[in-house]
Amino acid sequence: MSEQATAANDVHFTGGIGEWLRYHREQHPQNEALIFGDTRLDYGTLNSRVNRVAQALAARGVDKGDRVSLLMLNSNAFLETFFACAKLGAIAVPLNFRLSPGEISFILADAGARVIVYHPRFTPLFESIRGETALEHGIAVCGPDEAPLDGDADYERTIAEQPDAEPQALVRQDDPLMMMYTSGTTGKPKGAVLTHANPTWITLNTQLSELAIRSDENILTVAPLFHIGGLAIHTLPALHLGGKTILHAMFDPEETLRTIERERVGALFLLPAMWQALTQVPNFDDYDLSSLRYLVSGGSPCPIPVIEFFQGRGLPFIEGFGMTETTASACVLGNADAVRKNGSVGKPLTHVQMRIVDEDDNDVAPGETGELVLRGPSIFKEYWNRPEATADDCRNGWFHSGDLARQDEEGFYYIVDRKKDMLISGGENVYPTEVEQVLYKHPKVQEVAVIGVPDERWGEVPMALVVPPQGETVTLEEIEDYCRDKLARFKTPKHLAVLEELPRTATGKVLKRELRQEYAPQ
C-alpha cells in the first residue's frame, strides 16, 4: 500500500500546521494575516510566499526531518520560514540571538541544521564557527544597506525566483515540527522536540480558556518568536483561526501603545518586565486602549502593583504558566483571581492534567510540596538525541517538570521552588549549573555557587558566590569581562559575594537554600 493510501486511513494524519495557511487561502484569501512594518500580507499572499520559501529550501536539499535554523528578529520572514518548514516536514530550530557565539555553535552542531535563515546583523554569532557545523546553505533576510555573507542567498530575491506550488510532503500530526533549546542542568542545552499536534492542541486549549481569541480581532506579538511564549500563546492560534497578527521586531513601550491604538489590538501577551515598562510611560493614559479585551503575562510572576495598574484602568489581566516542553500554556490564573491568588499559577487548561507527587510518584496531600508533573496532547515528544534525559523527565506517562509545587484547598497551584535551581530573568530561563561551569574555568574561582536574587526590572538576576584560591580575590567586573563572550548577558552574574567557604551538607552538596536565605533579601 502506498504512503498516500496509508495516510488516508491513519488517524494521526490530519496534515501538519502548514495546512492552516492553505485552508485560509482557499476560504478567505483577501483577509489580512500578517502586518510587519510597512508589509501587510493577506492569507493568499502569505501562503504563496510560504510555498516559495519551501521551494527554495527544497532546492537546497531540505527534506522531511531535516533541520533548518532561524536566527532572526520577529518578522514576516520568520513565520514564512517556520511554516515553509512545516509544509516540507522539516524541523524548524529557532535560535535565541541573545546567546553567545559558543552557545549558538553548540546548538547548530547538536541540531545538525543544514540551512540557516538569518538577519545579517546576527552573522557574528555563527560566521566564525560555521565550518564546524553541518550548515551547507545560508539565506539572509536583508534590510537596507545589508548583504548576505559570501556564498549565501538573498531571501527576497531567492523566493521571487521560485514557484508557489504547494509542497507535496506527507506530514502527520505526530511528526516533529520544531526544536526549541532549553538550558540543561548539566550545562548543555537540550532540544525539546514539539510536534505538529502540539500547537494544534494549544489552539483548542486557548479557545476553551480565558485566553480565547477571535478570528476577527487583531493580535500584537512583541515577545520574541524564538521563545515558545511569543510563538504559541497567541501567534500560532491566531494563524490557526484565520486572525490577524501584528509583529514588532523589538519591544518599545511607546510603540506598543501606539500600535494597540492604531490597529485596535484585542489581546496582548508580554513578559512581566515588559508590562512594568508600559506602566512607566509618562502619558500612558493618553492612549486609547479600549480595543483590548484582556492582557496576558507569563515567564515569571507579575508584581501585584503592575497587575493593579492595568486592572485599575479596566483592563482584565491574566497570568499564564507553562514551559517549552508544554508548548507554552499549561495553566491559567484568571483576571478575577489575579490579585487574590497572586503567586499562584492558576489551574490547568482543559486538555492538560497536573499532579503533585513525591519522589516515588505518589500524590501528595493538598498543601504539601512535591514535584509538578503534567500530561496531555500539548506535551513535547522528546529531547533531541537525549534518550536518557527523555526517559528521566518523561516516565510513567507523565512529564516531570522539575518544579516543586503545592496545591491549595481551592485547587490553585503554586510553584514554591525550582527543583533544578532554575531562575527566570526577564522571561529567560537561567540554569545556575551552566553558569557555574563557565565560572569554574576562571583562574580566580576555586568554588562557586550561582543563585537567583530579586531584581526590580528583570524579576530575578544571577548572583555568583565565589570562593577564590587562597591569597586571591575577584571582582564583579572581572567576572563580567570573563563571561562576555562565553555567556548570554542575561546569564552573566549581576551580583557577586566573595566567601571563604560555601555551606555544604554532610555529603558535600552546596546548600543553596541557605545562600538564598542569606543573600537574596539583600
**Which backbone phi and psi does 91 adopt, to 5 degrees?**
-110, 115
**Would you place residue 1 in the very low, low, confident or very high pLDDT band (cuts 50, 70, 90)?**
very low
* CA separation, residue 9 to residues 5, 64, 175, 309 (Å): 7, 21, 16, 54
Per residue in 288-314, pLDDT (tens digit) is 999 999 999 987 778 788 899 999 999
Cell for 144? 537596507
Over 163-229, what HEC string results? CCCCCCCCCCCCCEEEEEEECCCCCCCEEEEEECHHHHHHHHHHHCCCCCCCCCCEEEECCCCCCHH
- pLDDT at res. 187: 55
User: Would you say residue 504 has pLDDT above 80?
Assistant: no
Euclidean distance between CA atoms 309 and 304, whole angstroms: 8
**Chain mean pLDDT for the chain:** 92
Burial class (CB in 10 A: 0-12, 13-18, 19+), 505: exposed
User: Would you say residue 253 has pLDDT above 60?
Assistant: yes
Per residue in 324-347, pLDDT (tens digit) is 999 999 999 999 998 898 878 999
Find the length of the chain.
Answer: 522
- pLDDT at res. 185: 40
Domains and CATH numbers, the chain: 3-16+43-194 (3.40.50.12780), 204-418 (3.40.50.12780), 423-519 (3.30.300.30)
Gyration radius (Cα) of the chain, Å: 23
Please give the full DSSP string across 424-460, using - where no structure is assigned: EETTEEE-HHHHHHHHTTSTT-SEEEEEEEEETTTEE
- pLDDT at res. 8: 56
- pLDDT at res. 343: 78
- pLDDT at res. 447: 85
Per residue in 47-62, pLDDT (tens digit) is 999 999 999 999 999 9
User: Would you say residue 363 has pLDDT above 50?
Assistant: yes
Phi-psi region of 361 (alpha: psi -120 to 50; beta: other; left: phi over 0): left
% of the chain exceeding 70 in pLDDT:
95
Per residue in 187-224, pLDDT (tens digit) is 578 999 999 999 999 999 999 999 999 999 999 999 99
Euclidean distance between CA atoms 274 and 18, whole angstroms: 31
The helix (run of H) or strand (run of E) holding residue 328 is: strand 328-333
Evaluate whether 338 touches 314 at the Cβ level (below 8 Å): no
- pLDDT at res. 506: 44
